[in-house]
Amino acid sequence: MEQYNAGLDSTPGVEFYAGILCAGFVNAHSHIELSYLRGAIAGGGGYAAFAAGIAKVRDTFSEEERLRAIEEADRAMWQEGVDAVGDIVNSATSFATKATSPIHYKNFAEVFGLRVCNLEQQRELLKYPNTSLTPHSIYSVQDAPFKEVCNIDMNAPLSIHFMESPDEALLYAGEGSLHEWYKAVGFECNFLHYGSPAERIVACVPKDRNLMLVHNCFVTERDIEVVMDHFSAPVSWALCPRSNAYISGIEPRSVELLRAHNNINICIGTDSLSSNWSLSMIEELKMFRGIPLAELLQWATINGAKALGIDNHYGTIEVGKRSGIVNITGVDLENFTLTASAQAKRVL
Ligand SMILES: [Zn+2]
């Protein structure tokens, strides 16, 4: 790097940073309230084993431990250069940290429950800033509450977990592990007549509503077409590759399908510390080998800002915006790719 420095760091008022500078990151999908579960749940067993793991350890942590973990995660994200987060909330635990955090949080109060739906309980969370309701997924909410939530607060985006596992589509065909599980515990689904996860989305979400679909590991070309043909409002496709690797040891197979559509907004989320080793955007980007870094940085900045509807303030370094500036080191400048040791740090 010496040749690029050219004595600049000895010039008064000029700071020299090796590597590259980019706009502050937007983490499009996280659940910061689950930060206390870091390392508590073994990965690799697939989604059903993971959900069972959470249920087993959830009540073994004190309120203080939960709050401390949220604060640490918030601080780590800020230091790494995260300006804004699309954060799923199930409770009010994270709002004290968020009230004083320099990070902008767009909160999605998650509605779920096939037998008892928590919609009324989640409405209580709407008193907190930047908070709106969203259905958890296309397999965990019955028909009426799903439609109701999709029609409340039309100005806010929705953030729906989508096609994280092939079992989500198989459920609609009466097959797979979700189907078996629901049958074993006696859950009846009154939404399977839509025929597929994508068909349910387009039948129930108003076409002028901003929507973010999260995970998308198993979306097909047909799913993408069904969704993109329906919406007049922007649809964003969030990828969380390290969470997928942690839970199921899989990669989002849809990356190239999504990239082949040039009107598709791909963004990046870390998911939670229950299913990730850290909430690091740069570590997520390292998972996409062979994709140009300039494109990846768009996913991690402006595309996330668009997904959360905050691109007027974040996502690019421009006069009038509030974006931070991030220094990424460990960049192979010749090929413009991230090396394994690449790191990101907030400069501003
Ligand atoms: Zn999630």
Residue 189 burial by CB count (10 A; 0-12/13-18/19+): exposed, middle or buried? middle
What is the CA(318)–ligand 1 centre distance, in A?
30
What is the CA(30)–ligand 1 centre distance, in A?
6
What is the CA(18)–ligand 1 centre distance, in A?
34
Q: Tell the residue number behind the tokens 């959470």, with chain if given.
A: 54
Q: Are strands 211-215 and 235-239 parallel, antiparallel or unpaired?
A: parallel
Contact 288, 259 (CB under 8 A): no
pLDDT of residue 206: 98
What is the CA(99)–ligand 1 centre distance, in A?
22
What is the CA(31)–ligand 1 centre distance, in A?
6
Separation CA 278–CA 272 (nearest Å) = 8
What is the CA(162)–ligand 1 centre distance, in A?
10
What is the CA(50)–ligand 1 centre distance, in A?
12
What is the CA(244)–ligand 1 centre distance, in A?
10
What is the CA(274)–ligand 1 centre distance, in A?
10
pLDDT of residue 1: 43
24-28-30 Cα angle (round to 5): 110
Residues with CB under 5 A from ligand 1 (ion): 271
What is the CA(304)–ligand 1 centre distance, in A?
15
pLDDT digits (tens), the chain, 348 positions: 444 555 656 677 777 778 999 999 999 999 999 999 999 988 888 777 888 888 888 888 999 999 999 999 999 999 999 999 999 999 999 999 999 999 999 999 999 999 999 999 999 999 999 999 999 999 999 999 999 999 999 999 999 999 999 999 999 999 999 999 999 999 999 999 999 999 999 999 999 999 999 999 999 999 999 999 999 999 999 999 999 999 988 887 799 999 999 889 999 999 999 999 999 999 999 999 999 999 999 999 999 999 999 999 999 999 999 999 999 999 999 999 999 999 999 999
Tokens linked to 305: 């800002």
What is the CA(36)–ligand 1 centre distance, in A?
15
Sequence-ordered alpha helix ranges (H) in the chain: 2-5, 47-57, 63-80, 95-100, 119-123, 143-150, 167-172, 176-185, 197-204, 221-230, 241-248, 255-259, 281-286, 293-300, 302-307
- Element at 108 (helix H, strand E): strand 104-111
Residues 49-76, buried b or exposed e (16+ Cβ, 10 A)? ebeebeeeeeeeeeeeebbebbbebbee
First-to-last alpha carbon distance for the chain, in angstroms, is 22
